[in-house]
Structure 1
Amino acid sequence: MRISTSMIYDKGVNSLQQQWGDLLKTQQQLSTGRRVLTPAEDPIAAARALEVGQSKGVNTQFMTNIGYADDAMKMFESTLTGVGDILHYSRERAVQAGNGAMTQTDLNYIASDMKSQFEALVALANTKDGMGDYLFAGYRAQTQPYTGNLAGISYEGDQGERTIQVSASRYMPVSLPGSEVFDRTLAIDEQSVLLYGNADNGGSETLAVSAVDPLAARQATRYQISYSQPDPALPGTYSIERLGQDSKDVPWTDAELEQMWPATPPATGFVVPDGYTLSADRKTITYTPDPTAAPPLPYQISVDGLTIALPSDPEPVPLDAPQEARTVKDEVADGDRFEIFVPSTNLLNNVAMFAGALERPGASGVNGVVAFALQTMDAGQENVLKVRAQIGSQMTETQNLANLGSDLNLQYAEVISGLMDVDYVEAISRLTQQQTYLQAAQQSFMKVSNMSLFNYI
């Protein structure tokens, strides 16, 4: 094989460039800390590192979402704690109102305090988060969920729960509809509708709520029922009036009367049934049960979805004897008064109703008001505690997910490091070796390039 001078120079330059290239690659590995600088150097490791890196990125986003969810849960917990504190304080004030030494002036002071607590509860129900979204509005995050006043509160949100993904298979709720906290505190049924008689009633029996239609019942309403029977030998008459949650008189509307006493089709409107009469201002309904009517009128009143059983009240014996001397006593006496409390499923309305009833106690006096307040506030407190338990469970879950996410990130980082990171000890040794190779190549090239006959001419 013939070796030319140009070949010697070409081979020498190529060798030097190769040595410089190897040295540069090792230097880049040391400076970046990466063994694989391009996918071509190790396609399998590069592909695996890309896959693990994507998983790590998704896990990092989940951890960010977990932080958002945890912040939301903490705001819920703080808000619900405030609601519970107000209900606890209101219950204490209700017990205080039951003290027999309280005058009406004292009750008015407590009522004013309860109105302030009502406003505080409404403010908590309309709490916003750091993004300006309402906590208890459901999907309608930009709509104020609760509007109204002491005369009535209405819910403007929906039943949705906004969620955020905190793991591959878990969507964490970060909002609650107000109905879950404030609107479903109790059911409207025979147990929740309370009936009380006046302390001065002379009859031996009382009324009873025998059936409740929860769809037709008018929530947050008090009914005042009085009995009139001037002649104990004749049927007596029951008068019914109703008060709203602000304790103002509430007349019956056409729509309510049509629902309660619908006319027979094709006629429209309403027809007052036998035994009932309606006052001109529609504030009073009277009912006279008459066993001599054909057919006999039943001893019960049906009004606003409530069926109220009445004492049969037979003729007393002897007729002219006082109540305590009769062998057959008056079951209900002339002037007897009763009061029915129909609560609201919404605890805000119940607090407002408590305040109004303190200012204007009905036939049952303060005792009925206090019993109503204790029942509804206990139900509201129980519901708040149930929701707080749910929030606490979610906070525990977010903490566990955060710990798991941190562990996963460490595992992903270890896998990527094993695939991509350089071994500094090996790389430094190799760099030293390559420097030696480069120096040898440079020296040998200098020797070869100096081998010329021109040096001897």
Structure 2
Amino acid sequence: MRISTIQAFNTGVRGIQDNYSAVTRTQEQITSGKRILTPADDPVASVRLLQLDQQASKLAQYKDNLTAATNSLTQEEAILNSVNNVLQRVREIALEAGNGALDAGGRQALAQELAERENELHGLLNSQNARGEYLFGGYQSDSQPFVKNADGSYTYAGDEGQRSIQIGSAKMVAINDNGKELFVDVPNATRLTSAPANNASGAVSPGTVEDNEAFLKDFPRDGISIVISADPADPTQFVYEVRGADGVQLADGALEPNADGNYEIGYAGMAVTLSGDLAAGDEFTVNSEEKRSVLDTVRLLRNTLENTYDSPEGKLQRSDMLSVSLQNLDNAMNKVLGVQTSLGARLNVIDSTQLENDEASLINTTVQSGLEDLDYAEALSRLSMESIVLQAAQQSFVKVSGLSLFNFLR
């Protein structure tokens, strides 16, 4: 075979370049500590490394989410502990207020402390986390969930949502609890609310449900009113009418005092007690109230201590309100306890998920290291061999390039 001089030179140069490229690549691997410098080095491993990088990014995000969830739930747990302490103190005040020897000054002092506890509770229910989000507003975390109205009552301005955050490939954890379910939808002991509809001279008890089936079936959703009037047949006696919200008469009857001198009126499975010096024209409203917020429970208790006297009617009003308030406070504390139990369970899930994610991260790191990290012993041996080959190529090129017919014609 005939080989031209230029072909021999090109072949020699190409061999030197290839060997030099191999030496340079090995040196780059040793410098970087990575076996794969470009996807072409190992396409299959490169794809797997890309998947592992994506998984590592997700695990890093999950770690941040776990930290955020832990902080939020831990803060909520601390807030609920404070709420429970406030409710416990309010319950103690209610028990103190039931002391028959307590005079008006003592009741006012308890009412003043109740006002402070009410404000403290209102502040706790509007607590924010480190990011400025309201804990108990549901999805509406940027505005106060509990708003105090001009008449002193409270309105829940949040929603019933529960924000969740992803902490694993298939795991979500709730990071808050909405205030409506926790603090507003508290079972009301009497299931009723009653009040004078005008400047009535008498008083009305909170009422009780005596026949649940009849109450659910017949009691109007819009409530009723009880109107007192003189008996046409005997003006010295009183009769009553039960009217619906539209003014239509639903029932009537004569007022007959019981052993205590009060008047019991029953309708649709419920009963209320009227007391005091009733007069013709007195009107009282009775409405269904299956739920009562914890703030309203404290407010109504405070109002009762502030505005009732030592008359028999006042004592009866206080007795009724104290009984209802104690039961409602117990219901509220049971609600808080239930959520605290749920918080503990969620924090346990976070702890176990953190361990799972740490193990997955360790496995990914090990696999990633096996795919891309360089075996230095093998690389150094290879570099030594490639250097010898490069030197041999260079020396052979020098010898071959010196071969020429002109050397023999001198």
User: Match of 1:36, as an amino acid?
Assistant: I
Give a deviation string over 1:71-124, Cα, whole Å, max 9, x none: 221221122112111112222222333344432112111111111111111111
Counterpart of 1:414?
A: 366
Equivalent position amino acid for 2:98 in 1: G
Change (3 A) 1:33 1:216: farther
Distance 1:216 1:69 in 2: 45
- Check whether the contact 1:210–1:307 (CA below 8 A) recurs between aligned residues: yes
Instruction: Give the secondary structure class of the aligned counterpart of 1:363.
Output: helix
1:442 aligns to 2:389 (yes or no): no
Q: Does structure 2 retain, via aligned residues, the 8 Å contact 1:133–1:141? A: yes
Number of residue pairs matched by the alignment? 370
Give the distance between the partners of 2:221 and 2:251, measured in 1 at CA.
22
Correspondence for 1:307 among 253, 259, 270: 270
Q: Which residue identity lines up with residue 423 of structure 1 in the other structure?
A: D
Deviations 1:163-215 (Å, cap 9, x if unpaired)?
Answer: 2222232222223221121012224557x989xxxxxxxxxxxx975246588
Query: How far apart are residue 70 of structure 1 and its match?
Result: 1.7
Give the superposition deviation at 1:448.
Answer: 3.3
Q: Structure 1 pair 182/218, CA: closer, same or farther in 2 (3 Å)?
A: farther
Corresponding residue for residue 318 of structure 1: none
Cα 1:407–1:391 change in 2 (3 A) is same
Please state whether the residue corresponding to 1:364 is helix, strand or coil: helix
Instruction: Output the amino acid matched with 1:135.
Output: L
- 2:95 is the counterpart of 1:56: no
Structure 1 length-normalised TM: 0.70
User: Does the 8 Å CA contact 1:183/1:345 hold for their aligned counterparts?
Assistant: yes
Of 333, 336, 357, which aligns to 1:381?
333
Question: Could you list the runs of 5+ residues in structure 1 that have no partner in the other structure?
Answer: 195-206, 241-256, 263-268, 277-286, 291-297, 311-331
SS state at 1:129 partner: coil
Matching residue's letter, 1:308: A
Greater shift in the superposed pair: 384-393 or 372-381: 372-381
Deviations for 1:360-383, whole angstroms, at most 9, x for unmatched residues? 343326544443332222211111
1:158 Cα deviation from its structure 2 partner: 1.4
- Residue 282 (structure 1) aligns with: none
Could you tell me how far 1:68 is from its partner in structure 2?
2.0
Task: Please state how far the C-alpha of 1:306 moved relative to its aligned partner.
Answer: 7.0
1:11 equivalent in structure 2: 11
**Aligned partner of 1:261 among 244, 252, 269:** 244
Is the CA contact (8 Å cut-off) linking 1:163 and 1:174 kept in structure 2? yes
User: Any conservation in 2 of the 1:209–1:309 contact (CA below 8 Å)?
Assistant: no
Equivalent-residue separation in structure 2 for 1:360 and 1:234 (angstroms): 32
How far is 1:410 from its partner?
1.0
Cα distance change on mapping 1:8 and 1:275 into 2, 3 Å: closer
Structure 2 counterpart SS, 1:113: helix
2:298 to 344, 347, 351: 351
Where 2:68 maps in the other structure, the secondary structure is: helix
**Using the alignment, how far apart are the partners of 1:420 and 1:413 within structure 2?**
11
Change in CA separation of 1:387 and 1:238 when aligned onto 2, cut-off 3 Å: farther
Determine the C-alpha separation between the residues in 1 that align with 2:28 and 2:101: 90
Sort the Cα spacing of 1:216 and 1:175 in 2 relative to 1 into closer, same or farther, 3 A. Answer: farther
Given the alignment, which residue of 403, 409, 433 partners 2:385?
433
CA distance in 2, matches of 1:58, 1:21: 38
The answer on whether the counterparts of 1:211 and 1:308 sit within 8 Å (CA) in structure 2 is no
Give CA deviations for 1:252-304 in whole Å, capped at 9, x if unaligned.
Answer: xxxxx9xx425xxxxxx41455646xxxxxxxxxx5269xxxxxxx97434xx
Correspondence for 1:177? 178
Q: Which amino acid aligns with 1:270?
A: G
Q: Residue 346 of structure 2 corresponds to which residue in structure 1?
A: 394
Answer with 89-98 or 108-117: which moved more: 89-98
Instruction: Provide the rounded CA distance (Å) in 2 between the counterparts of 1:127 and 1:333.
Output: 43
Greater helix percent: which structure? 2
Equivalent-residue separation in structure 2 for 1:81 and 1:208 (angstroms): 32
Deviations 1:5-29 (A, max 9, x none): 3233222211111111101111121
* 1:453 CA drift (Å): 6.6
Paired AA for residue 434 in structure 1:
E
Distance 1:26 1:123 in 2: 67
Question: Any conservation in 1 of the 2:147–2:157 contact (CA below 8 Å)?
Answer: yes
Measure, in 2, the Cα distance between the counterparts of 1:122 and 1:216.
Answer: 32
**Same amino acid, percent of matched pairs:** 28
1:344, distance to aligned residue in structure 2 (A): 5.1
- Could you list the per-position Cα deviations for residues 110-162 of structure 1 after superposition, in whole angstroms to 9, with x for gaps in the alignment? 11111111111111111222333222111222232111257311111111112
**Contact 1:162–1:174 (8 Å) recurs in 2:** yes
CA–CA separation in structure 1 for the residues paired with 2:340 and 2:173: 15
- Cα distance change, pair 349–139 in 1 and its aligned pair in 2 (3 A): same
1:208–1:442 CA distance, 2 compared to 1 (3 A): closer
What is the rounded CA distance, in whole Å, between the counterparts of 1:346 and 1:183 in structure 2? 4
Distance between the aligned counterparts of 1:448 and 1:351, measured in 2? 105
Aligned twin of 2:198: none
Q: 1:3 to 1:446 in 2, by over 3 A?
A: same
- CA change 1:239–1:95 in 2 (3 A) is farther
Q: Partner letter of residue 288 of structure 1? A: L
Aligned 1:225-264 pairs, distance under 5 A: 237=238, 260-261=243-244
SS of 2:374's equivalent in the other structure is: coil
The residue aligned with 1:135 is 135
1:128–1:306 distance in 2 versus 1, CA, 3 Å: farther
For the pair 1:288 / 2:255, whether they are aligned, the reply is: yes
Identify if the C-alpha distance between structure 1 residues 157 and 38 changes in structure 2 by more than 3 Å, giving closer, same or farther: same
Q: CA deviation at 1:397?
A: 0.7
In 2, Cα distance between the equivalents of 1:189 and 1:100?
A: 23
**Cα displacement (A) at 1:239:** 8.5
Identify if the C-alpha distance between structure 1 residues 429 and 333 changes in structure 2 by more than 3 Å, giving closer, same or farther.
Answer: closer
Question: Counterpart in 2 of 1:88?
Answer: 88
